[in-house]
A and B are shown apart, each in its own frame.
Chain A
Amino acid sequence: MEPLDMSAHGAVPPASSQRSGLWRRSCQVAVIVLVATLPLSAAVPEFWISQANYIGLYTLVVFGLVLLTGVAGLTSFGQAAFVGIGAYASAYLSSVLGAPSWATLLFGLLVTGGCAYVIGAITIRMSGHYLALATIAWSLALYYLFGSVAALGKYDGLANLAHMSLFGIELRSGRAMYGLIWTCVGLCGWGLCNLLDSQPGRVMRALKHGRLLSESFGVDTVACKRLIFVLAAMLASVAGWLYVYLQRAVNPTPFGLNASLEYVIMLIVGGMANVWGAVLGAALVKVLQDQLQTLLPSLLGMAGNFELIVFGALLILLLRFAPQGAWPYLRRLVPERVPKGVVPSAPMDRRPVQPDGGALLTLSDVGKRFGGLQAVDGVSFHIAPASIVALIGPNGAGKSTTFNLITGALSASAGQIVFGKTRIDGLPARDIARLGMARTFQHVKLIPGMTVLENVALGTHLRAPSSVLRSVLRLDRGVERQRLHEAAQALKRVGLESAMHTDASSLALGQQRLVEIARALASDPMLLLLDEPAAGLRHREKQALAALLAELRAEGMTVLLVEHDMDFVMGLADRIVVMVYGKKIADGKPADIQQHPAVREAYLGSNA
């Protein structure tokens, strides 16, 4: 490929956006300074400091929920139980073995992470509301376990625990703990922002949009979800550790179902998808709770947790009228971040070209049965490298099923599929993607809320190592630049580099299909599988697409298309495979297929 002309990218941002960048930066600095200096002034009463401490703890838990629910779409009503595991583990080690604070943190993280791994392995495979119900179930089970184990003090818990002691300094006062707590909040928030601004973060956001999508560019979705689950649990564990040294006593009540539900309320109030919304949500809910706890009982003349009535009503109203939470309103005060230009960087490794000779893809007698329906029956064909093959047929012919069998979205009931030298039937989709296959989808699957460039960057997933740890610590900038560069190149190929920084959902359908193709190209595939790429395109766009595919073929790419549009296919494909009722009825050059009697019969009726 020719070197990309970089002058269009990385351009100097205009002056107005420089000003808004400055405004944005100064807002951030102001907030940090405010938070950092709050405890230093003696005029700030102890009460506010201790409030702020608890808000900090809750924020850490809600960070986990932002990741789990806001980003990955997994609802959990059990985060408080993980806070409990972390707290009890730290408390136990501290009181029974007298371990130092850093050791109890590590122990807590280890135990919580381990429990989350096991619980996650069982429950993460569940979908939607089953998952939510399971989180309620184990959250309750853990709460009762905390209360029944004698070593943990049962319902009375453990008391008289030691103070936090770090680097030889004992943190005895609320103000000292404030410093530690908000440092933790700052670090975790920063790490989380880094994570979301990188490839692992993009992959996590893609999880919400279905297994098929993520697996198609090589992500092990189950492992990814489990990782997110463990990360959220570990954030909760840090909160638990801090709680132990703040309260210096633990008992089961703050780790029960009600607490978990309150964290979910904080998440929704703050705004689910935004990291710093967690601080807002935790602060608003805590302050409101305290005010109501003093106000309502005296208004009503009796003691009780009446603030829950208000919270319940608030939750219902929020979900009805403002499901985005409060963050977007705050966001309006601060301008959008100007997208950074793409920086030129070294290209990523290309896949070695397969030596000539032999078909790239071979199907031998492939069949698929769904109960009583034989959707695909004894289909065999091969695809030569550097060619375009079209798979056509009337509706219900089994084209999409065959397509899904090749990409690994379905597993074959019979027959063999060989890709290069590897037999791929029975392999999961992500392993097939790793071997060099990339696909697009009949119903376009782009991630709204991410730019076109970021969507395309998803395709580069398998081309470089993607490490959560490095992303969190922001050590992945080099790889990130490479990924974005490759994505920009792929966009240039399909002619959409001008739309690089627009939100993917705001493009027209035809352009969205092109973005999907760019995403597939970004993975440097040997075989490109396109599922009805021309559907919904205008004539000009179809021409441009055909030209693109021809170019790609000239450069050595192999393409398999499923299509309905005859004109598009006839002028482009080297070979056409026709399927009817699950069987292959014809296979040959376009001109031959047009004359083929069985094909004419299938499409037009007999003797047309």
Chain B
Amino acid sequence: MANIIEISHLTKSFGGAAVVNDVSLAVREGEFVTLLGPSGCGKTTTLRLIAGFEYPDVGTVLVGGEDVTDLPPYRRPVNTVFQDYALFPHMTVAQNVGYGLRIAGVARVDIARRVGEALRMVDLLDKIQAMPAELSGGQRQRVALARAIIRQPKVLLLDEPLSALDVKLREAMQVELKHLHNRLGITFLLVTHDQKEALVMSDRVLVMDAGRIVQAGRPADLYDRPASPYVADFLGSSNLLEATVAAIESDRIVAAARSARIAALSNGVRFQLGERVLVAVRPEKALLVALEADLPGHFNRLEGTVIENLFHGHTLRTGVDIGLAAPFVVDSQLQQALSQTQAPAPGIRVAVGIDPANVTLFPGERGR
């Protein structure tokens, strides 16, 4: 499939600080791509550079093979769903959705038909004559979506479209957006700081940090094989332990953090003996067992004291003091009610088991 968006060496500075720093990316036709990162990482500015609300200092933006770098927003074949929806308050829902077509001089009957289609697509046909102020947040969101898809853009840009909705509605809209993407076949480029949203919806995620793309890949790849401690911690959460390489075996590397020794599969990555490393272990990939219980032989075994239990509904997060600066966090799936579960009380000595395949080593002293 052809690339619908191609960005090369895009740089944009505000007041001398590079907000977007030499970003290059390509989006294939029909793909659902997410730019993920904390606020201030440059993801929204990247989106605005594609939409045409900002012009880059350096670099080019190609949409559908056409160089649109210097085109104003109204000449670009993309449409945006804004974070605050940006519905025109002095127009009805129908006028909002049909606005672009009306100004473009499309015939009245065609506008009415296409507005109807777009609103049916977002299931809001009954509010066609309402004013934006009369709608709920979720409904405004749908109007904004209908307005953005009615011109059949080559790319739909979504700037944190769900951040203003409450959790339940947000999760429902995530699924709905994904379905809409499948039905329309339009390329979606989403900007979000919500890692869950990115993992649920996207075909591909680009993680940004300080104006650069630090890793790109399918959600599962990013989650399971983060390229840096930053990604490991931003997507999901990770126990990050500072350690030194204590032993290098045929297929395993053993890192030591004080008294704790943790083995990882080497996976072809080369480390020197004595090198400083960062050990990353996801909380749900560690196993909490009683001190006397047996673990599979190849498992790492760390012993410590339970500090606290945090009830997350479907999981129980246990902090274990293993003699390091930060407690080691283990998530246990709750298959029964919490009252039926034998959760180790604070103060109890326990063991933590970790499969070496689930341990990731990063070179130490590199930016987190």
**A and B associate in one complex:** no
Binding site for B on A (CB under 8 A): none
Residue numbers of B with Cβ under 8 A of A are none
